Structure 1
Amino acid sequence: MAGSPAPPAPPVSSVVIVGAGQAGADTAAALRGRGFSGRITLVGEEEALPYRRPPLSKGYLGGTVDAGDLELLPASSYADQGIDLVLGDRAARIDPEERSVVLDSGTRLSYDRLVLATGARPRRLPVPGADLDGVMTLRGLADAAALREALRGTLREGGHLLVVGGGFVGLELAATARGMGLEATVVEVGPRLMARALSPGMSEHLRAEHLRQGVRVLLRREVAALRGDASGHVRVAELDGGERVQADLVVFGVGVRPGAELAAAAGLEVGDGILVDRWLRTSDPAIHAIGDCARFPSARYGRQLRLESVQNASDQARCAAAAICGDPAPYEAVPWFWTEQYATRLQIAGITDGHDRAVTVGDPSGGRFSVLCFRGERLLGAESAGRPADHMIVRRLLAAGGAGLSPGEAARPGFDLKEYQGRSRQPA
């Protein structure tokens, strides 16, 4: 699929978008922004208007952000743009031959082009006791609302939170819980926190900050079983090796499964996501897949990627909208991510796994520094804590191909990315 030609531009009069999250809502907006005048139907299985997910594990859980503050747009905006919202109704089946989507309600929606923005769902560990009361996951607004009440109840009772998984969501949740005054433990099966996304140096920086804030962090440990009380509520986690940890509330943050079931049932190619080409077309050229559910070929990194980020969702939405409107371009956006934990805002530009050299610039002791990651002489990306200017500069460097800055240059005493950018912009 990656080598197939750019899609033609046949007339399109109707677009159905399945998934009313960031990717789906942004696709609808991008189509209208490009002047598409046909019918747009946005289908979401949740009752809520399309909303932002990042605050769910931070401000919303902590009580500083209300549900209404999460909405991407008010309901009136969709009506004003002529976007038909179908909420609280799940897409049950795709009929590619008839070019239609059948909903749980029995409604059949016809399309010229279909966009699958079906997201992902959290994994649960298959351990004894995983079905006890007080064992939760966090993905959508309903999850977050239930978890917010559970956190408050656990705090009132003087209980203890156990977070299983030391990735983005798990660490943000632990930080939020500590901000509320709740005792928390993080259990991570790997040798360090956020190991898939961060260099060892930045992983250690985050671990040290969580320890300083009072979180107990257990690395290279697994939950073997969860035990409850007589009422069926979780109270204890048994770890490998026999250690028992208080666990009055347990949240699994052990990754997600891409929402590819609908696509697979329709006969589309799948494999850790819905497989798409450079223009985000599935194996059926009338169907695009975008966001967390889509696995796409990256010319930048020379492999297939499936990314879970707001940036990827929004950029792929615009890419799919352009193709539908007859102005196709391969998807080549620079990936970037962020997380907020305590006072630390960590921003990541690029995909840094597989780097063989890391150069630290700035002031690690003061919590304001960047780790520049290279493979050979090529800049792969950077992790920036409290250095937003570094983050933006690296994004621009990566967009330009990442060439020019070498690890030797970055390791020079006193090296500064702003100064380097200024010099590199000067004419020869």
Structure 2
Amino acid sequence: MVDAHQTFVIVGGGLAGAKAAETLRSEGFTGRVILICDERDHPYERPPLSKGYLLGKEERDSVFVHEPAWYAKAHIELHLGQPAVHLDPAAKTVRLGDGTLIAYDKLLLATGAEPRRLDIPGTGLAGVHHLRRLAHAERLRGVLASLGRENGHLVIAGAGWIGLEVAAAARTYGAEVTVIETAPTPLHGVLGPELGGMFTALHREHGVRFHFGARLTEIVGQDGMVLAVRTDDGEEHPAHDVLAAIGAAPRTALAEQAGLDLVDRGAGGGIAVDSALRTSDPYIYAAGDVAAADHPLLDTRLRVEHWANALNGGPAAARAMLGQDTSYDRIPYFFSDQYDLGMEYSGYAPPGSYTQVVCRGDVGKREFIAFWLGADGRLLAGMNVNVWDVAETVQQLIRSGAPLEPGALADPEVPLESLLP
């Protein structure tokens, strides 16, 4: 039974928002829970959009966080297809696009992120794509199948996780693929030069062409259709479709309009929150891709755009909204599947933060664990590639903060668990 003694509003119908709503109920909250989604679909998970669903291995219904009937059973009031357009912290109200005004006692912003756009001529042509929403994935899935049947060309701007996963899917369908990347290797800002090259080799083995050290300057078309792309070094590449995979920007417009503290784009952007995911307004919280949180373990402000952060951050924010003592200190984690390579990455090791990368196993066979070590020997991050059931131990080693001997890390005969203090 729901009573109206309190109303908690969640703006954002992704994984973070849906899991926050679920947690409020599982923790015994009996007030109103209102979930505002600007998409018409029920809340869904995003990893399948560039993995199983895009490849045609998973059905559409498999992406949803809960079955549609769950929301009514849990007394979650859903506003689908309705963006929140104005937030008034003084009045504690949210106004929707249709004019509906909703009052709240506490509010969670889980507005996520949106694809960065290419700012070049030709982006209005048919055949220019982004991948963020279910509708994007549905469209792209059909495009990749068609390109595969017709030996068509897909050009991908950006060799990050989305770019590489779509490249793998496109090659699986049989499409020709060219990836254009400004950095010297894929995933350069995440993995550094030491391991980015492994992904170059993986994709080249599957027929992907790379053009590094260049950026798109124009998408060339005829009769409204894509014909080719040009880069700043004077090259031209044939293309029937183009995917912009140059990163995502946190959706902070509502927070900015409300006067909440934000983080500069140069520092990662997002809504500034403390370790309890509370914003500069004590009645407003933020979680998921949009939240730049003070991380109590890593001692830095961090915004993470990955599934695990939404999965765990939404519930953490819900508990904080309920007044529970909350300190969100999860180790950043993400995973990727490309062809026959599966990997998990735990930790945070941006360029310049580590002094060496140590590998255990066979890098050539792509069955190994990589460890990023700081100057003091502490483990900053670890990535297991086609090696399983070790991510939890890697995270424990990071959390311990203990200095580690590189030789022991590299030796497969030394159990990782034995290195824990």
TM-score by length of 1: 0.92
Please report how far the alpha carbon of residue 199 of structure 1 lies from its aligned counterpart in structure 2 after TM superposition. Answer: 3.7
- For 2:25 and 2:387, the matched residues in 1 are separated by 36
1:298 aligns with 2:299: no
Distance 1:188 1:414 in 2: 35
State the Cα deviation string for residues 262-311 of structure 1 (Å, max 9, x = none). Answer: 11011111121111112111111100011101111123333211100111
For 1:286 and 1:398, how far apart are their aligned partners in 2? Answer: 33
The one of 327, 331, 334 equivalent to 2:324 is 327
The 5 Å alignment of 1:331-342 reads 331-342=328-339
Name the structure 1 match of 2:56.
63
Partner of residue 394, structure 2: 394
State how far apart, in whole Å, the 2-side matches of 1:25 and 1:71 are. 10
Indicate if the aligned counterparts of 1:12 and 1:113 stay in contact, CA closer than 8 A: no
Per the alignment, residue 372 of structure 2 pairs with 373
Write the distance in 1 (CA, Å) between the matches of 2:403 and 2:6: 46
Between stretches 216-225 and 284-293, larger displacement belongs to 216-225
Number of the residue aligned with 1:258: 250
Deviation at 1:228, TM superposition (A): 0.3
Judged with a 3 Å threshold, the aligned counterparts in structure 2 of structure 1 residues 423 and 350 are, in CA distance, closer, same or farther, namely closer
Distance 1:265 1:421 in 2: 49
CA contact (8 A) 1:357 1:407 kept: no
**Inter-partner Cα distance in structure 1 for 2:231 and 2:209:** 14
Whole-angstrom CA distance in 1 between matches of 2:331 and 2:151: 44
**1:361 counterpart = 2:360:** yes
Cross-structure match for 1:103: 96
| Cα distance in 2 between the residues matched to 1:232 and 1:325 | 53
What amino acid sits opposite 1:340 in the alignment?
A: D
Task: Give the deviation of 1:408 after TM superposition.
Answer: 4.3
C-alpha separation in 1, matches of 2:362 and 2:392? 18
- In the aligned structure 2, how far is the partner of 1:203 from the partner of 1:390? 21
Residues 109 and 372 from structure 1, CA distance in 2 versus in 1: closer, same or farther, beyond 3 angstroms?
A: same
- Single out whichever of 366-375 and 315-324 deviates more from structure 2: 315-324
* Cα pair 2:397 2:420 within 8 Å, conserved: no
Task: Select which of 265, 268, 278 maps to 1:281.
Answer: 278
- Structure 1 unaligned segments of length 5 or more: list them: 1-10
Aligned partners of 2:192 and 2:361: how far apart in 1? 16
* In 1: Cα distance, 2:5 partner to 2:330 partner: 25
1:313 maps to which of 310, 325, 328 = 310
Task: Determine if contact 1:136/1:147 at 8 Å carries over to the other structure.
Answer: yes
Q: How does 1:12-411 map to 2 (within 5 A)?
A: 13-229=6-222, 231-271=223-263, 272-353=269-350, 354-376=353-375, 377-399=377-399, 401-411=400-410
1:8 matched to which residue of 2?
none
Deviation at 1:77, TM superposition (A): 1.2
| Pairwise CA distance, 1:107 | 1.1
Q: 1:407 Cα deviation (Å)?
A: 2.5
Contact 1:23 1:291 in 2 (8 A): yes
- Give yes or no for contact 1:352–1:382 (8 Å, CA) kept in 2: no
Q: SS where residue 255 of structure 2 aligns? A: helix
- State, as a whole percentage, how many aligned pairs show the same letter: 38
Counterpart of 2:266 in structure 1 is none
Q: Which amino acid aligns with 1:365?
A: G
1:421 to 2:414 alignment = no
Select between 58-67 and 261-270 the one with higher mean Cα deviation.
Answer: 58-67
| 8 Å contact from structure 1 (residues 12, 324) kept in 2 | no
The AA in structure 2 aligned to 1:380 is: L
Output the aligned Cα RMSD: 1.6
Q: Distance in 1 between matches of 2:412 and 2:244?
A: 43
Give the match's secondary structure for 2:90: coil
Q: Contact between 1:202 and 1:383, CA under 8 Å: does it hold in 2?
A: no
In the TM superposition, what is the alpha-carbon distance from 1:169 to its structure 2 partner? 0.3
Q: TM-score, normalised by structure 2?
A: 0.94
User: Match for residue 3 of structure 1?
Assistant: none
SS at match of 1:179: helix
Distance 1:174 1:328, change over 3 A: same
CA distance in 1, matches of 2:307, 2:80: 21
Residues 396, 420 of structure 2: 8 Å contact kept: no
In 2, the alpha carbon distance for the partners of 1:190 and 1:152 equals 29
1:390 Cα deviation from its structure 2 partner: 2.7
CA–CA distance in structure 1, aligned partners of residues 407 and 85 of structure 2: 55
Alpha-carbon separation, structure 2, partners of 1:151 and 1:424: 46
Contact 1:379 1:406 in 2 (8 A): no
1:123-155 alpha-carbon deviations (Å, 9 max, x no partner): 111111122111111100111112122223333
**Post-superposition CA distance 1:165-203 (Å, at most 9, x none):** 000000000000001111101111011111122143321
Query: SS of 1:173's equivalent?
Result: helix
Counterpart Cα distance in 2 of 1:31 and 1:299: 24
Contact 2:296–2:328 (CA under 8 A) maintained in structure 1: no
- SS, match of residue 41 in structure 2: coil
Deviation at 1:48, TM superposition (A): 0.6
Cα offsets for 1:181-239 (capped at 9, x unmatched): 1110111101111112214332111110100000001111111211001x111111111
Query: What is the rounded CA distance, in whole Å, between the counterparts of 1:274 and 1:236 in structure 2?
Result: 38
Residues of 1 paired with 2:73 and 2:273: CA distance? Answer: 32
Instruction: Provide the C-alpha distance between the structure 1 equivalents of 2:46 and 2:211, rounded to a whole number of angstroms.
Output: 27
Count of matched residue positions in the alignment of Structure 1 and Structure 2: 410
Residues 91 and 104, structure 1, Cα contact 8 Å, conserved in 2: yes
327-336 vs 206-215, which moves further: 327-336
